[in-house]
Structure 1
Amino acid sequence: MDSLYLILLALFLLVIIPRIMQRRRLAAIRHILNRKMRNKENIEMKELAKRFIGEECIIYTITSNDGSVQGLIKEIDDGGMVIEKKTGELEIINLDFVTRIRQYPRKKNGKKKDIVLD
């Protein structure tokens, strides 16, 4: 009887919880996309993001694995932005999934902070 409970618990932890998290994430993505299409927020985000061209920023998105992307914003087009990471690789991010753009924080002497807490 105890093994049955262990199997059910393992099933719950390994299958059901990740499914619930995936559904919540997809629902959040759908909600934001619907809101942006209704309110035409994409144009506003594009205009606001143009202020950060040439700056090193932290871009918070819904879809990235760790929640944010760090790098230098190179250019911004109709649907996305081109970011150059520290390693030199380029990444293109869809502006529909951007929730926040933040200039990389600096200390009083102008050096970049080692740890960024949000």
Structure 2
Amino acid sequence: MDTALWLCCFLPILLVLYERSRQQKTFLARRIAAKRKKGANPMTDLVKNYIGRECLIYTMNSQLAGVIKEVDGSWITVDNGKDLEAVNLDYVIRIREYPRNKNGKKKAIVGD
């Protein structure tokens, strides 16, 4: 009986939250497409400063760490030690150099 009550009360709330998340992703995709039509991505010039440095790259859905090898149009190539990855700059939210402590060792990254 308690399970049925829980489903009746919280299932609609979960469905609303899921729908809202889906709508936000759709909105962001349309916004990115509109920016792409306007012209070049200003992020391209900023990323060129990080070539050859180990960075953390945050995208809409994930994050990755590695050395930025090259910037080509709206794509960057990242070497994470195992393989090369290509990342579309339209979906990059944030880039920062990998944090290090005073001895030069890498700091532990906790979910940012």
What TM-score bracket applies, with the shorter chain setting the length? 0.7 to 0.9
Does 4-13 or 93-102 show the bigger shift? 4-13
Counterpart for residue 88 of structure 2: 94
CA RMSD across the alignment? 2.6
For 1:33 and 1:105, the matched residues in 2 are separated by: 32
> 1:6-65 deviations in whole A, cap 9, x for unaligned?
333353255432222121122133224424543x351x2112111111111011111x3x
Letter in 2 for 1:17: L
TM-score normalised per structure 2? 0.78
Percent of aligned pairs with the same residue?
A: 38
For 2:3 and 2:49, the matched residues in 1 are separated by: 59
Trace 1:7-46 onto structure 2 (pairs within 5 A). 7-35=7-35, 37-38=37-38, 40=39, 42=41, 44-46=42-44
Report if the CA contact (8 A) 1:107-1:113 is conserved. Answer: yes
Unaligned runs of 5+ in 2: none
SS in structure 2 at match of 1:106? coil
TM-score normalised per structure 1? 0.75
CA 1:33–1:78 in 2, change beyond 3 Å: closer, same or farther?
Answer: same
CA 1:21–1:79 in 2, change beyond 3 Å: closer, same or farther?
Answer: same
Trace 1:1-118 onto structure 2 (pairs within 5 A). 5-35=5-35, 37-38=37-38, 40=39, 42=41, 44-62=42-60, 64=61, 66=62, 68-86=63-81, 88-116=82-110, 118=112
- Number of aligned pairs? 112
Unaligned runs of 5+ in 1: none
SS in structure 2 at match of 1:6? helix
For 1:85 and 1:9, the matched residues in 2 are separated by: 45
